[in-house]
Every structure is written in C-alpha cells, then in structure tokens.
Amino acid sequence: MTHEIAHAREILAATRLEHVRYAIRDLAVVAEQLAREGKKILPLNIGDPLKFDFATPPHIIDAVAKAMRDGKNGYAPSAGVEDALEAVRAEAERKGIGNIQNVFITQGVSEAVDICLTALLNPGENILTPSPEYPLYSAVLAKLGVQPNAYTLDESAGWEPDLDNLARRIFSGTRALVVINPNNPTGAVYSRRTLEAIAELARRNQLVIFADEIYDKLILDSDPHISIAALAPDVPVVTFGGLSKGYLAPGWRIGWAVVSGDAAAVQPYVEGIHKLLRARLSANTPEQYAVRAALEGPQDHLAAAVGKLRARRDLTMKWCETTPRLSCVKPRGAFYAFPKLDIEGGDDEFVRSLLLEKHVLVVHGSGFGQAPGTRHFRTVFLPDEATLSRAYEGITDFLHQWAK
C-alpha cells in the first residue's frame, strides 16, 4: 500500500507582524555563527549587566531563596503579592508621587507595557512614542494593529524631546504619550522643565503618560532623577519600574506599574488593566519577595555599579571626542551611548560589516528609528574598561577603512 505524502503547507505568521523588529537581537544570529567558528565576539549590544562584571545583590537572592523554601511557589494574586505591592507603593511615595490609585506587579516592565497599552487602545487610536525609541513599544503596537506615531528626540538639544514636534503630533485619536527617562538608547535624563512641559501637554490634551523609569537608579551625574508623576498629581500617569536594571536581576522578570492621577478619571482604565492581569494569572511568585528586600534593604551595590558605569561612560565619551567621524551626546543615565556616524551608506550595513570584520557587536541606529539622513549606533558601556577599549579600537580601525 502506498501513501501519498502530502507536502506540508507553510504556516504563515500574521501579516500585522511585518513591522515587528527587535534590532537589538537581530544581529545576534550572525554573532552566534561567528562564535561557533571560534571567533571571540565583543558584545556591546545587549543591556544585561549580568553578562558583565555586575552581580545580583546577595540579600535579594536570599529573599527569593527563603520565599521558595517557605513554600511561596504557587500562583500569586494577579496584581502581585501584598509584600511587594506595599514596597512599590512606599518607593513611589518616596519619589514624591502622590494620588496613587493602583499598583501591580508584572513579568518585567515588558509585560506591564503590553498590558497597559492593550487595555487602553481601540482601533484607530494611537499613542506617541519617542524616536529614537526602545523597540518594545512599537512591537506591542504592531501586535495591536495600532499605527505608530513618533515624536522627535532632538540630538542638537541633548536628546531632549522636541516639544513643538510633540505638540504637533497630538491628533484626535491620540490617547497617551511615552516618556523613557533615563532614556534608552540615548542615555538622556530629562530636566524638571522638560518634564513639566510634557505634563502640561498631557493635561491640556487629556493624554495618559506612560513613564518608563526602569533606569531611575542608574544616574551618572549629580542631577537627581525626577519622576514625571511627582510633578503632575492631577494627570493620569503609569510609572514603570522593576528589578532588571538597578537591582541587577533581569532574569527574574519582575517589574511593576504605579497608576497615579485623579481617582475617578483613572478608575475604568485600571479596571480594564486588572481584567488582563487576571487573564494571565500572575507574575513569578518567589521573585516578588525580592522587591521589598531590594527597595528597602542595603543599596551599596548601586554606588558600586554607578561608579563603574561612570568611568566606562567617561571612557566612551573620550573615545567619541577623539575619533574622527564620531560624535556623541554625553549619556547621563542608564548604560547606553548613541554616537552619530559621519559616514556614507546605511548604519545597518556598517554595523553588520563591523561585526564580520572586527567581531564587535553594536546595534544600528536605524533599528531604533532616527532622523532621516542621520546614522548612529547604540553601544552598551557595561563591559570593563579593557574590553571597551579593545572594542572601540576595533571600531576606530574599521571607520578608517570605511569609505566616507
């Protein structure tokens, strides 16, 4: 008896995914191939401190281990365990956020963003996201079938938001705006004046502010980090934070959101968010017991981490300032720099060839969105000085051989 073997028909992915890009990991496939061939790659592409000489503070690891041993291994309440919620609320209050209406714990800021955008947007509506941006936002928007609406971060003004451009991009269907502060990929930390102006635009146009403050503990200069929610208790603000960056535990996938603003105004939206929180059961349970230990325990690791990052930022700036065809706005927070390239051709092509020839992995600026006609790359200054110097020498050599 013969069986005809039917050819498997390709299962196509949904067309709305066409515009989903995550440039930060795209070139990683090429890098992995090079590594398999025995090449040593200098990875300046991913914002994971644990890949370098940073370690999760032991006291927060102990808190998770204890929670596991104490049997805290079931599902948590959908909004999060009480112990973590209280600690997040207290931290928000310490940052001056008033009018707090709700707090919830998620699997990283990534899940909080997904849930908060999904709970807000109807077909035909949009939200303002920065350009250059952190690509999580446009990936979620693509999933929701929402058209992008980007506002410009102005390189000539230290990457502060261009407020005129922001105001011009508020349309009738615009529901919210995203402020990433400290910023990925630029490293900018916004001034009180800028934040007040953004809050005023939101107030006048009835926009929700999504304040992504995942890097709030990683401030490299003396200016304090200001939460935009603290400046505008009347405006609906969802402030995002988590353990991934300042508490050096990105693999635990613990983030949170604090909703502030007028109680009656935010209530229906908060109810919508909680429907989605319930539908996905809960965030990781034992890791939630690290939140209080992190926010209220010793903070010594922070001074050490910021000290290292400051030295590595300074090395990065010195390199940018002394290398022809490179320029860079000084990052003042997080661990990214976004240097401008004065070259011919696309920055994607540049970054790919750089990887193949010099084995240095950075991310092309076009992967974050950038002003037309400009070229950039994002580098991560998490590696130690010796590794950074080697990587930067490789880029300098490569720039010499790249046709202008």
Ligand X SMILES: Cc1ncc(COP(=O)(O)O)c(C=O)c1O
Of residues 33-62, those binding ligand X (CB under 6 A) = 47
Size of the site for ligand X (CB under 6 A): 14
134: nearest Cα among 367, 400, 393: 367
Q: Is 88 in the site for ligand X (CB under 6 A)?
A: no
358: nearest Cα among 26, 24, 34: 34
Q: Is 242 in the site for ligand X (CB under 6 A)?
A: yes
Label residue 260 exposed, middle or buried (CB < 10 Å: 0-12, 13-18, 19+).
Answer: buried
337: nearest Cα among 171, 205, 185: 185
Contact region for ligand X (CB under 6 A) — 107-115, 295-303, 344-352, 392-400?
107-115
Q: Is 132 in the site for ligand X (CB under 6 A)?
A: no
Which residue's CB comes closest to ligand X? 108
Of residues 342-371, those binding ligand X (CB under 6 A) = none
Question: CA 115, CA 108: separation in Å to the nearest integer?
Answer: 11
Q: Is 309 in the site for ligand X (CB under 6 A)?
A: no
One DSSP character per residue, 278-335 reads HHT--S-HHHHTHHHHHHHS--HHHHHHHHHHHHHHHHHHHHHHHSTTEE-PPP-BTT
Q: Is 218 in the site for ligand X (CB under 6 A)?
A: no
Contact region for ligand X (CB under 6 A) — 148-156, 229-237, 242-250, 323-331?
242-250
Q: Is 162 in the site for ligand X (CB under 6 A)?
A: no
CB 108 within 8 A of CB 326: no
240: nearest Cα among 101, 334, 104, 99: 104
Q: Is 286 in the site for ligand X (CB under 6 A)?
A: no
Contact region for ligand X (CB under 6 A) — 106-114, 115-123, 200-208, 280-288?
106-114
Closest distance to ligand X from the beta carbon of 87 (Å)? 16
Closest distance to ligand X from the beta carbon of 236 (Å)? 19
Question: CA 381, CA 379: separation in Å to the nearest integer?
Answer: 6
Out of 117, 214, 238, 258, the only residue in the binding site for ligand X (CB under 6 A) is 214
Q: Is 212 in the site for ligand X (CB under 6 A)?
A: yes
**Residue carrying the six token digits 């051989």:** 401
Q: Which residues bind ligand X (CB under 6 A)?
A: 47, 108-110, 134, 136, 180, 184, 212, 214, 242, 244, 250, 255
